[in-house]
Structure 1
Amino acid sequence: MHPKTQQILEVFEEINKIPRLSKHEEEISLWLQEWGRSRGFEVKADSLNNVLIKAPATSGYENSPTLVLQGHMDMVCEKFKDSKHDFSRDPVKCICDGNWMRGDGTSIGADNGIALAVGMVLADAGQKGEIGHPPLELLFTVDEETGLTGAQGLEVGFFEGKLLLNLDSEDEGVFVVGCAGGQNSLITLPVEWELFDCEKESLFRFFRLSVEGLEGGHSGVEIDKQRANGIQLISLALVGLKEKIGAENIRLVLLTGGSVHNAIPNTAEAFFALQSEKIDKAKEAVSVIRKAFQAEYAKTDPGLVLDFKEVDIKIAFETAGDEITRKEVPCIRVFSSGTEERLIRLLLGLPHGVYRMSDTIPGLVETSNNLATVRTKENEIMIISSQRSSITLKLAEITGKVEAVAKLAGARIEHDSGYPAWEPDLKSGLLLKCRQVYNETFGKEAEIKVVHAGLECGIIGSVYEGMEMISLGPTIKDPHCPAERIFIPSIEKIWIFLENLLKSYRCS
């Protein structure tokens, strides 16, 4: 293993000892600031906890242009169903498995902790005289994963460089030069409750139906892979169950699914009271539905499980953010039949998946939607839908469809401010230099690509005029899900490329 690869991984493991949930980056921000000051670098942070660390040019590079190395501090916190990991306090464990590093039943946060580690090791190596480099600005932003609000909050003048390397891409050998814009929508469906004391209704028993074991994944990068959406499947399963045993024999209490707006939901569950005499028939129906789901998604989601089991009747739920807490209290109410019908129709009517492919770039998803999360709260059901498109008009179109379906179901809908697409500049001097250096270093051309994921480059370019930007990074598989892993040999290639790129800016 290249010594710098080892060093980068060691720094990455130190980063993973610090909780990095989106919107809770205070601790990692302070740690990064202290790291920079301990090495004598100029450091500053803004009110959002974005951090800038300035490493001066090494000898011979004083007149070179400043390069900005940019990444984000937060990570998507996903875990397998049986994991006890608490992302708010537990270190993320890193496991080397051959040429790959992965988590222990959790996402590992290589997206985008590896960017922090690479930037830090580069600056450190320059200070120690191990490499030469132009003036560097390490720009580390917050809250990229839940709305790119850190980048959106950057004030003009926070950094100075006009050449930016975003280290948030996931395929070594690929230079990303454009990305989709996006917008999230919050749908609120009012809940009408009916009194229904399950303990006294002796003809009913309490059951949980759940979809588990789905692949999930990044709602931009993997949206074209036709992976199952847990929320859609649980809705379809409930419809199938009602058709088989009669809607009046099921009284829904709770439906929940998904975790974050930018991950395809890999779990969902429903709790309901079930007419006792229909239990055997319900089991048969679930078995048929399970086989149908497993046959349909045998290739994309081979671990798919549709579980049906009786549970304690004394159970209720509280939702705070993305956390669901079970409480042992009597269940004395169920959704009204009208609420049930509106909810299921809404979840089945909302679009999910690829909406349109690009007419100009083969294989590129132009527009998509992710039916991301659903939560049952005290008086309402909250649903998040996440739209993406590289075309502004198409983003408005798919968002309009989401709004139309929501309003037809009697729900309220609010849209966030969204983030802009990053339009490619194939004549950029930075891109031309990067392509030349990559070819000279590895004897082959780098692939030039536009992606369907959202990158901070779009926002930064809209705020800072005259920026030249590309995005690159080591190879990461299955980001935004518990199977996330990073290909260790690709880190060495990124290091060698960046070292040679920095050398190419020497002016004397």
Structure 2
Amino acid sequence: MINDILNNFKKISQIPRCSGNEGAICQWLSDWAKNNHFAVKTDKVQNLLIKIPASAGYENAPIVVLQGHLDMVCEQTPDAHHDFTKDPIQLIYEGDWLRADKTTLGADNGIAIAIAMTLAQQKDIPHPPLELLFTVNEETGLHGAAALAPGFFDGRCLINIDSEQEGYLTVGCAGGLNTDISLPIAWAKVPTDYQLMKINAGGMSGGHSGIDINAEKANAIKVLAQTLHLIRQQIDIRLVHFNGGTAHNAIPRDSETKIFVPQKEVEKLKQMVLAAEKTLKAEYQNTEPNLFIKVDAGDETFPQAMNTSDKVIDFLMALPDGVAAMSTDIEGLVETSNNLATVSIEAGQLKILSSQRSSVESRLEAVTERVEALARLVGGKANSGNRYPAWQPNMASSLLAKSCQIYENLFDKKPVVEIIHAGLECGIIGKKVPSMDMLSIGPTIKYAHSPDEKIHLASIGKVWDFLLALLKELN
């Protein structure tokens, strides 16, 4: 059956579906449902619900919701030149793994769609009435789930297929809150004897800003800010450009700045960049072996440069990034974290997106207030929003108990019951429907939200076998 799942996944991978651009995949799935004579509906934001009738003997069983999201994080390597608005994802089979060619794979969460489609297509699988619930804009802040209206679906037992480790049953997740910062910049004329230079920090692996936040990965924005800090101690620098990061839930892999320096200091600048690269490569030698920092002459014309370069560098240095606190209840679980996600210069202002996560509401507020306070201290404005709630675990869940027993019977070992430091739509759905019994499962996906994303093929088959055995018992 894995070949059927992978064939469906290949079809899904041909359709552009970055967050905010899910119209084509929504229409394609709607057409697929109609062609298979399944009832289908969408809501005002293009969340999609497909109803699958029960198999024989299960007509009176409670409805089960299989849930995933339509969108994917769209990341690519600097040399990829992939157009996510029209180009299909190029799949590459590599031993036991499936990856993409220099882009995110989209297994997060296309594999959920493929599994649900394959299940619906099988006529001889015993299962209760099913509702396939696919939401939009999950990756940008779980907006689709937040827009779900009462009565859009009927089931009160939900299996989310958006976890990324086979053999793990997820029963809780962190909540999150994003902060947009605008910092006014003072500009001044550039001295005539100054040379424009471009510094790039790249080669970093990035990853999921929740799941990978404790993996000691380098944040390219922080790496570049630290480099500028080292340089300014000996050379007068005037910033004109700073750009890095792509999404709130991805650890930045690349960052670029353009600066003016005295022409007589250009060679010294090059040596200092080499020294900074050596220092930072040593710091991250085990987690970022491909980290690089390079400097080149710029070829653009800028009439002005920042008169507040030191303030910008200080602010980027001071903003929190990484793990803020570990859970004291669950060993190894990150409780609170922050991702310095994106930086850009727009309309003469420095724009920053900071993404905070925590499984403790008060800690989420505290780290967010810290970010906002730092913004105020440098004369900036901070606006926090796109909040999504934590999913509090229900260890007395009947769905969980049944799942644990079925998994152990199938594979002769106990599953790991976990809470993750990432956002899952179960948190929002649980708030909307307090009586919902929920569980999240999924095949093994590595390096989600980065071009290194890959999925373990054998784990797809195990998730399939487990899901079928579970549905058979939900009658």
Q: TM-score, normalized by length of structure 1?
A: 0.92
Matched, 1:332 2:303: yes
Matched, 1:462 2:449: no
Question: What CA deviation, in whole Å up to 9, does each residue of 1:296-350 have, x standing for no partner?
Answer: 00001111011111131x2xxxxxxxxxxxxxxx3212111x2x12211111111
**In structure 1, what is the equivalent of residue 394 of structure 2?**
425
1:500 Cα deviation (Å)?
1.0
The aligned runs of 1:108-147 (5 Å cut-off) are 108-125=105-122, 129-147=123-141
User: Structure 2: where are the runs of 5+ without partners?
Assistant: none
1:503 Cα deviation (Å)?
1.4
1:68–1:164: 8 Å Cα contact kept in structure 2? yes
The alignment partner of 1:405 has SS state of helix
Matched, 1:157 2:154: no
1:364–1:452: 8 Å Cα contact kept in structure 2? yes
Question: What CA deviation, in whole Å up to 9, does each residue of 1:51-81 have, x standing for no partner?
Answer: 0000000101111111100000111111111
Q: Which runs of 4+ in 1 moved over 2 A?
A: none
Instruction: Give the whole-Å Cα distance in 1 for the aligned partners of 2:57 and 2:107.
Output: 33
Question: What CA deviation, in whole Å up to 9, does each residue of 1:234-265 have, x standing for no partner?
Answer: 11101111112x22xx2211011111000111
1:182–1:418: 8 Å Cα contact kept in structure 2? yes
**In structure 2, what is the equivalent of residue 236 of structure 1?**
226
AA at the equivalent of 1:333: Q
**In structure 2, what is the equivalent of residue 269 of structure 1?**
256
**In structure 1, what is the equivalent of residue 315 of structure 2?**
346
**In structure 1, what is the equivalent of residue 101 of structure 2?**
104
Matched, 1:478 2:447: yes
**In structure 2, what is the equivalent of residue 183 of structure 1?**
177
1:191 Cα deviation (Å)?
2.0
1:220–1:388: 8 Å Cα contact kept in structure 2? yes
Residue 163 of structure 2 is aligned with which of 162, 169, 172? 169
**In structure 2, what is the equivalent of residue 320 of structure 1?**
none
Instruction: Give the whole-Å Cα distance in 2 for the aligned partners of 1:275 and 1:5.
Output: 61
The alignment partner of 2:281 has SS state of helix
**In structure 2, what is the equivalent of residue 325 of structure 1?**
none
Matched, 1:498 2:463: no
2:213–2:323: 8 Å Cα contact kept in structure 1? yes
AA at the equivalent of 1:356: A
Residue 380 of structure 2 is aligned with which of 411, 421, 431? 411
Question: What CA deviation, in whole Å up to 9, does each residue of 1:272-310 have, x standing for no partner?
Answer: 122111111111111111100000000011110111111
Instruction: Give the whole-Å Cα distance in 2 for the aligned partners of 1:360 and 1:56.
Output: 42
**In structure 1, what is the equivalent of residue 288 of structure 2?**
301
Residue 419 of structure 2 is aligned with which of 429, 447, 450? 450
1:231–1:374: 8 Å Cα contact kept in structure 2? yes
Instruction: Give the whole-Å Cα distance in 2 for the aligned partners of 1:454 and 1:289.
Output: 35
2:274–2:294: 8 Å Cα contact kept in structure 1? no
Matched, 1:20 2:27: no
2:135–2:145: 8 Å Cα contact kept in structure 1? yes
Instruction: Give the whole-Å Cα distance in 2 for the aligned partners of 1:7 and 1:194.
Output: 62
User: Structure 1: where are the runs of 5+ without partners?
Assistant: 315-329
The alignment partner of 2:233 has SS state of helix
Matched, 1:48 2:45: yes
Residue 82 of structure 1 is aligned with which of 76, 79, 82? 79
1:465 Cα deviation (Å)?
2.3
**In structure 2, what is the equivalent of residue 9 of structure 1?**
6
AA at the equivalent of 2:2: T
Q: TM-score, normalized by length of structure 2?
A: 0.99
Question: What CA deviation, in whole Å up to 9, does each residue of 1:382-431 have, x standing for no partner?
Answer: 10000000001110111111111111111100011401000000110111
Matched, 1:258 2:227: no
Instruction: Give the whole-Å Cα distance in 1 for the aligned partners of 2:118 and 2:361.
Output: 38
Instruction: Using the aligned pairs only, state the percent identity.
Output: 45
**In structure 2, what is the equivalent of residue 36 of structure 1?**
33
**In structure 1, what is the equivalent of residue 346 of structure 2?**
377
Count, aligned residues: 475
The alignment partner of 2:428 has SS state of helix
The alignment partner of 1:492 has SS state of helix
AA at the equivalent of 1:32: L
Residue 217 of structure 1 is aligned with which of 182, 207, 212? 207
1:194 Cα deviation (Å)?
1.8
AA at the equivalent of 2:47: N
1:504 Cα deviation (Å)?
1.4
1:345–1:409: 8 Å Cα contact kept in structure 2? no
The aligned runs of 1:314-333 (5 Å cut-off) are 314=300, 330-333=301-304
Residue 489 of structure 1 is aligned with which of 458, 462, 465? 458
Instruction: Give the whole-Å Cα distance in 1 for the aligned partners of 2:383 and 2:48.
Output: 31
AA at the equivalent of 1:22: S
Matched, 1:395 2:328: no
Instruction: Give the whole-Å Cα distance in 2 for the aligned partners of 1:342 and 1:407.
Output: 12
Question: What CA deviation, in whole Å up to 9, does each residue of 1:347-396 have, x standing for no partner?
Answer: 11110011000010000000010011001112211100000000011101
Instruction: Give the whole-Å Cα distance in 2 for the aligned partners of 1:505 and 1:166.
Output: 15
1:212–1:230: 8 Å Cα contact kept in structure 2? yes
Instruction: Give the whole-Å Cα distance in 2 for the aligned partners of 1:342 and 1:62.
Output: 66
Instruction: Give the whole-Å Cα distance in 2 for the aligned partners of 1:356 and 1:273.
Output: 39
Instruction: Give the whole-Å Cα distance in 2 for the aligned partners of 1:36 and 1:391.
Output: 40
2:91–2:99: 8 Å Cα contact kept in structure 1? yes
Residue 368 of structure 1 is aligned with which of 334, 337, 341? 337
Matched, 1:205 2:205: no
